[in-house]
Structure 1
Amino acid sequence: MSPYLAEFIGTMLLILLGDGVVAGVLLKNSKSENAGWLVIVLGWGIAVTLAIYAVGQFSNAHLNPAVTIGMALSGSFNWDLVPGYCAAQLAGAFGGAILVWIHYHAHWRKTESAAIKLAVFCTAPAESSLINALVRETIATMVLILGLLFIGANKFADGLNPLVVGMLIVSIGLSLGGTTGWAINPARDLGPRLAHAVLPIPGKGSSDWSYAWVPVIGPLIGSVIGVLVYKTLFL
């Protein structure tokens, strides 16, 4: 399998399971309706773990433009591959969101709130300041990149790394995710937001493009800072 196809499939699986757990918790008449934030966080952590197991052998399972750029900045990834990886990740995220829409097709009409429907696909801040949200996405992604570099610097038993990365995602979600929904991944937010914009979802509202730049720019800034901190303090 080519690394680009692997990134597409891995990111699609990530979004199918990640946005899928959000849909289950938020949409009406789901058996997991109102299961809460902890279920969402655990669902995303498991989604990341499974996606890495699925395609890690083919592409190292970045699944995230912020990770791809961070690894290139750290010197462990070829810059020539960055555009293709990022494009595959965005396309995979878009495809995964479409699968979530199909899977929960009967539940969209039963859910009245346009904001809840949007929340299935992409993130939104808990309070309205865009600058605060940008700072929070930057910090959370910095922790993600530092965590990945820390994990990469240690040796684990074969097959254990994806579990540790999944635990990292859960930790960030529990500790830092409540402020913005912890996108920490431009593709994870932008791809599904694009899907929300084009899909015929009953009663949907705006895709909130005024906020859409925050979960793209914040993670990219956080990625750069994370690599710089690691190189300055830990090498």
Structure 2
Amino acid sequence: MNVYLAEFVGTAILILLGNGVVANVNLKKSYGQNGGWMVIATAWGLAVAIAAYSVGRISGAHLNPAVTVALAILGDFPWAKVPGYIAAQVAGGAFGATLVWLTYLAHWGETENQGAKLACFSTSPAVPKKIPAFITEVIGTFMLVFGILAIGKIGAGVPAAEFAPIGKAVPTSLVGVVATWWSPMLVGLLVVSIGLSLGGPTGYAINPARDLGPRIAHQILPIAGKGQSNWGYALIPVVAPLVGGALGAVLFSALFKS
């Protein structure tokens, strides 16, 4: 499996499990209906970890254009591969959202709330103000990328092919090996923390592919009573995470890069 296919598959897994829990909580007559924010945030963190374990050894499991661009800014990922990674991530996001639609096929028509249906695909601000939403997404993605890089530093000495962005040399201690194994789960816990602490204002997209790919799927798929895809907001969860991720990479580089 090549790296682009791995990013497609990994992002599809991320969205299937991540947006799947939103559908489980939001859609009528689902057994998980009204499960709450804790359920959503926890499942999203697990989705990130499982997706990373699934394809990390192949592509580094970026699964997020903000992460890909941040690594390129740091010089840890070639710019020539950035467009291919991003295209694969967005396409994977759309495919994963399609699988969510199919999984909950019987429930869309049972749910009248169009906003609840859209939330199963893409994000929107709780308070419809774009500048505050932009700021929130920048801060959330800053924390995501800085946290990923910091977690990676714990496992310094692990090959980048294992779970980027963790180091470049072969691990020489049990601590390094354990860090390699647990890094995806730690990143998942980071996503849980961001969701619980910072996710309320916007639904914490913190990933352009996580929002854009599923929004495209929402636009195209014949979802019963779906309503509009809210393209007037769509630019914010694309641009703001790229800005936040770049800032996270710059600060990490200033603090830790030799």
- Fold similarity call, TM over 0.5: yes
CA distance in 2, matches of 1:76, 1:210: 34
Q: How far is the alpha carbon of 1:132 from its aligned partner?
A: 0.4
| Mapping of residues 121-140 of structure 1, within 5 Å | 121-140=121-140
Aligned residue among 218, 227, 232 for 1:196: 218
Q: How far is the alpha carbon of 1:234 from its aligned partner?
A: 3.2
| Mapping of residues 178-217 of structure 1, within 5 Å | 178-217=200-239
**Matched residue, 1:230:** 252
The one-letter amino acid of 2:208's match is P
Q: How far is the alpha carbon of 1:130 from its aligned partner?
A: 0.1
Question: Could you tell me the TM-score, scaled by structure 1's length?
Answer: 0.98
* Residue aligned with 1:211, SS: coil
**Matched residue, 1:160:** 182
| 1:13 partnered with 2:13 | yes
Higher helix share: 1
* Residue aligned with 1:107, SS: coil
| Deviations 1:43-90, CA, capped at 9 Å, x for gaps | 100000000010000000000000000011111111111000000000
**Matched residue, 2:173:** none
| Mapping of residues 63-142 of structure 1, within 5 Å | 63-142=63-142
CA distance in 2, matches of 1:168, 1:89: 20
CA distance in 1, matches of 2:254, 2:17: 36
CA distance in 2, matches of 1:75, 1:150: 16
* Residue aligned with 1:212, SS: coil
Percentage of pairs with the same residue = 55
CA distance in 2, matches of 1:190, 1:134: 15
| Deviations 1:156-212, CA, capped at 9 Å, x for gaps | 504111110100100111110111000000000000000000111111111000000
Structure 2 unaligned residues grouped into runs of 5+? 156-175
The one-letter amino acid of 2:105's match is H
Runs of 4+ in 1 over 4 A off after TM superposition: none
Larger radius of gyration: 2
Structure 1 unaligned residues grouped into runs of 5+? none
**Matched residue, 1:26:** 26
The one-letter amino acid of 1:110's match is E
CA RMSD of aligned residues (A): 0.8
Question: Could you tell me the TM-score, scaled by structure 2's length?
Answer: 0.90
The one-letter amino acid of 1:162's match is P
The one-letter amino acid of 2:233's match is Y
CA distance in 1, matches of 2:110, 2:54: 34
CA distance in 1, matches of 2:113, 2:185: 35
